[in-house]
Structure 1
């Protein structure tokens, strides 16, 4: 009973601290504002018939930085057309798109070439689209990192936007992002997208995953200019100045990391550059996984990398989840006396933290909260299985390529 009472106190102290930190974090997690309607220099508003007005708007647009959007696509024929067309219809006036077909075996390359020819024939689509076809992967590179770096080598922009091949952009997304980044005098802006889900259990798991991810990473620290250790990057939207990207060593500096987006953000901070993280759920959306089964299979392939391929860290994470997130739901029935009440208060505090974080990152919380204990067990299982699979295989299978564990460990920092 002494151990249960001690665990009750420790659990409450942990969740009380997390609640205080989360309330503070809410002030550090803004939503990307929409300036496009009010700022004609950052968007293409309906043209005035006055020739002088048109000339003035063109001159203002030319003062904006050229943004090079770089997309890595491997086996993305189902989504690449819609993503690229969204980008071709952005309201931002100075834009180029570089789509890199990374050794795809499906119709991705063909669709990209069709899009390039289609855009060249449309007068109302003035955005240039460059298509690069990568056929081989050099040693020491993960495919996506190599593809993004190849896109950078062709880019002309002062700003570089690294994004994924399945992200849907609102027409004013890039215009608003550039406006926000310039106003904040930031070197790097990363946005969290709206996560599109099509089932209850997938939604519950996605919410829980981002909840635990936020407690582990604490992404809001990216917006604290006085600290230069913890940064954040989101694969759906990493907008960085060319100078900043070159300063962190480009993708060559983390060429063999599966978590390339997070590594980019971390290195921005460590280089002493100014970073901003904001919610972009009103500006971009992504269907992370189409089903719970796909999410489980996808994460078990690479979630071990988030623990730097260290079994001790992964084991600690699983144990911590089970003790602090899951066990309180059992302890309220078995602890007895005041310890049961403390565990009950801890559960309420934990769920309050959950609601606050999910509202800030993804949006509203619904019935998914009712299956919270089940999602704890599911993620614990995924982490444990990811460790087992990686050790058994001696590496990871990622996007059609096998990467040896010893090489991954060497490149983990």
Structure 2
């Protein structure tokens, strides 16, 4: 009994250490809203670049949010990537005569390229700004977003500012999996090292919001340098760090909202294509991560239940600490606060997803996304 109690103290200490690390990450990650742009005689041109493929459900919200931006000067270039729905017609309807906007027709996907990367590459070739802001079609920006991100980039002398948006989740699968992106970043990425150094391994990025200084972007070859990557956002951020440039991961949830998925199967397929590839298709890394998730996120539940039955208060502590950590993350990410209680279920769902993602790769079945098949 004494040894069991000692083991539980060490086990609980793991959660306390993780909570401390999470708090440090929350408070050391730059917040977009904290940076104000100084008044200049001439502000740099910002090119907002958006790839769209069958995005008819998102056209109205994104165009209206971009029309409301208060920063000038901007140009907005949208690439219609071989859409088969009403994307193009809705774009023309929403843009009307606004000369800041232009829509270009995407070229057929070339061999060796991933669809989104190919679209972003084409967009960059048409842009003329001093800065490039790549955003996804499911993003909605607050009106003063550009001022804040530009101020942050200048203050930190960053060549890339990126961040994980706020995710206003609604569906069941979406609520379980999408918020885990913030859990991973705030729990496991040492923000001080990621933002203060140029160590490529300590890098995170989100393709829904990537703000580049043009010269730095072009110096690494742009999206062409990561043309075959399914996790191009992380790989292009690492490429900048490898060149000695500064990359800043910021908390952008105050200004950037991302409505990632509409259906549960979209959530599953979207995460499936990224999980195993994001681990470098390493089976050893995947197994190690799955073991850790079982020990850290799943085991506290049976311990908690047994603790209630056996009246051992110490057994309740791991799950309570886990809930506290998740609650702190959700508050920092402006997520629905009550989702913390779903953390063990989210972890179990992710475990099944990890296994599925690995099998799709190992069995050479590949991944389906937006009507395209990727190996």
Gaps of 5+ in 2: none
Deviation of the 1:170 alpha carbon: 1.4
User: Are the aligned partners of 1:192 and 1:280 in contact in 2 as well (CA < 8 Å)?
Assistant: yes
* 1:162 aligned counterpart, secondary structure: strand
1:311 to 275, 283, 289: 283
Deviation of the 1:67 alpha carbon: 0.8
User: Are the aligned partners of 1:11 and 1:324 in contact in 2 as well (CA < 8 Å)?
Assistant: no
Partner of 1:20: 20
In terms of mean alpha carbon deviation, does 156-165 or 241-250 score higher? 241-250
Partner of 1:11: 11
Number of matched pairs: 375
Deviation of the 1:79 alpha carbon: 0.8
Deviation of the 1:75 alpha carbon: 0.8
Partner of 1:402: 373
Deviation of the 1:99 alpha carbon: 0.8
Query: CA 1:11–1:189 in structure 2 vs 1: closer, same or farther (change >3 Å)?
Result: same
User: Are the aligned partners of 2:168 and 2:335 in contact in 1 as well (CA < 8 Å)?
Assistant: no
Deviation of the 1:320 alpha carbon: 1.5
The question of 1:168 aligning with 2:140 is answered: yes
Deviation of the 1:180 alpha carbon: 2.4
Deviation of the 1:304 alpha carbon: 1.8
Partner of 1:290: 262
TM-score (norm 2): 0.88
2:346 to 375, 388, 392: 375
Partner of 1:90: 69
| Deviations, residues 247-269 of structure 1 (Å, cap 9, x unaligned) | 33311221111111222222233
Deviation of the 1:190 alpha carbon: 1.3
Give me the whole-angstrom Cα distance separating, in 2, the residues matched to 1:209 and 1:27.
18
* 1:276 aligned counterpart, secondary structure: strand
In terms of mean alpha carbon deviation, does 255-264 or 149-158 score higher? 255-264
| Deviations, residues 123-147 of structure 1 (Å, cap 9, x unaligned) | xxxx2x2322123111111010011
* 2:110 aligned counterpart, secondary structure: coil
User: Are the aligned partners of 1:67 and 1:95 in contact in 2 as well (CA < 8 Å)?
Assistant: yes
Partner of 1:105: 84
Gaps of 5+ in 1: 42-59, 121-126, 405-413
The question of 1:330 aligning with 2:302 is answered: yes
User: Are the aligned partners of 1:258 and 1:302 in contact in 2 as well (CA < 8 Å)?
Assistant: yes
Query: CA 1:261–1:4 in structure 2 vs 1: closer, same or farther (change >3 Å)?
Result: farther
User: Are the aligned partners of 2:198 and 2:246 in contact in 1 as well (CA < 8 Å)?
Assistant: no
User: Are the aligned partners of 2:51 and 2:80 in contact in 1 as well (CA < 8 Å)?
Assistant: yes
CA RMSD of aligned residues (A): 3.1
The question of 1:194 aligning with 2:173 is answered: no
TM-score (norm 1): 0.80
| Deviations, residues 104-156 of structure 1 (Å, cap 9, x unaligned) | 11122333344555324xxxxxx2x2322123111111010011011111111
Query: CA 1:201–1:385 in structure 2 vs 1: closer, same or farther (change >3 Å)?
Result: closer
1:355 to 323, 327, 342: 327
